Homo-oligomer: A and B are copies of this chain.
Amino acid sequence: MFSFTRTSFELTNKPFLKKSYTIEAINTFLQGELIGTTTNLIKGPEQLKAAQENHITFIGSSKYLKQWETSKASAAIINDNLTVETGDNRALIKVKNADLAMAKVLELFNPAPPVFDTQIHPTAVIHETATLGKDCKIGAHCYIGKDVQLGDGVVLYPNVCVFDETTIGNHTTVWSGTVIRERCIIGSHCIFHTNVSIGADGFGYRPSDDGRGLVKIPQIGHVIIGHYVEIGANSCVDRAKFSATIIGDGCKIDNLVQIAHNSVMGRFCIMAGHSGLAGSVTLGDGVIIGGSASIKDHTTIHSGATIGAGSGVVGDVEAGKTVLGYPAQDARDMLKQWVVMRKLAKQQS
């Protein structure tokens, strides 16, 4: 039953990337120093070990120099403080930061996004009062509600829902399965990945007057999202109880992240996968929150603070500070504490 092998994948590992470049063209793009050359056209990036002769790879540390010798890659981007034999019909591009240069090279090979055969698919249901800017693309089975306003160049892939009175700025892209509830304000150049939930009700209840249960508190606020915000697959941003849940310009949010009602994020914050803000959390600008970290409701994380992965933050965090652990404390203290705990455990056992 399980006689298949992983090789089957290699066989079906089709050449998805369609563009090719000479090594000279890539060097011109990167403005690096070209050492050696290769007549092979470069058709894509690949890791050192998996690379074939039409690949470009990168060497960001001396520990990978050895792998270059046996790699089939015709070219590598390499940190300019490293030295290695180029080899026959092979080229190196020396740059200050090979990792960063590799990230830029990806732009050269970036394939086109999925096609739209028609700008507005005939199966999309668009309320007659909705207004669409120029050059919007609306995929199959989308739903656009009453008084929705889309800016220019908005792309909704199939099966997206946008509810009444929501506005979406120019050139924002929304992937399939994502739902944006009513009365939200979304900036321009945002990307919302698949199955994101924007504007679902905040989580709020009050005891019933007879004390025998819980009564839902209406969540009459909305969500405001700035420009250049990216939200990962299956993440959630709840609408405010009243007023607004706000995500500032340039924030980058990973998959499966929870942002509860009335939280306010500054600009260029980063939240990694599975992290979460409980209600009414305030983030300054440039806050970084590691994976699976959680922030208690009504706390403030000031600008430039970093929350280590897996942490539980139960109080305010000063600007620029790095905290770690649960309950989170200064990261250096927490690291020390972990060492001491291990030592004590060994002494006692």
Contact = CB atoms under 8 A, between A and B. Distances in A.
Interface string A151-171: 000000111010111010000
Nearest to A44: B242
A227 B195 contact: no
B291 A294 contact: yes
Interface in A34-58: 44-47, 50
A182 B18 CA distance: 14
A348 B342 contact: no
Contact of A123 (B6, B123, B167, B246): B123
Interface stretch (A20-28, A65-73, A80-88, A216-224): A216-224
Given A161-B158, A185-B12, A274-B294, A254 B203 contact: yes
A306 to B, nearest CB: 15
B12 A106 contact: no
A98 to B, nearest CB: 13
Interface in A213-265: 213-214, 216-220, 222, 224, 226-228, 230, 232-236, 238, 241-244, 246, 248-250, 252, 254-256, 258, 260
A63 interface: no
B106 A217 contact: yes
Interface size class of A (residues with CB under 8 A): 35 or more
Nearest to A285: B6
Contacts of A230: 201, 216
Contacts of A140: 125, 141, 143
25 contacts: A2-B228, A4-B187, A8-B187, A8-B226, A9-B185, A16-B165, A46-B242, A47-B243, A110-B218, A117-B127, A123-B123, A175-B179, A195-B195, A197-B234, A200-B255, A234-B235, A256-B256, A256-B276, A273-B276, A274-B276, A276-B292, A278-B291, A291-B294, A340-B348, A344-B344
Given A1-B208, A193-B197, A234-B256, 5 more contacts: A1-B210, A6-B248, A46-B243, A197-B255, A278-B309
Interface of A: 1-2, 4, 6, 8-9, 12-14, 16-17, 44-47, 50, 100, 103-104, 106-107, 109-111, 113-115, 117, 121, 123, 125, 127, 139-141, 143, 145-146, 157-159, 161, 163-165, 167, 175-179, 181-183, 185, 187, 191, 193-195, 197, 200-201, 203-206, 208, 210, 212-214, 216-220, 222, 224, 226-228, 230, 232-236, 238, 241-244, 246, 248-250, 252, 254-256, 258, 260, 267-268, 270, 272-274, 276, 278, 291-292, 294, 296, 309-310, 312, 325-327, 329, 333, 336-338, 340-346, 348-349
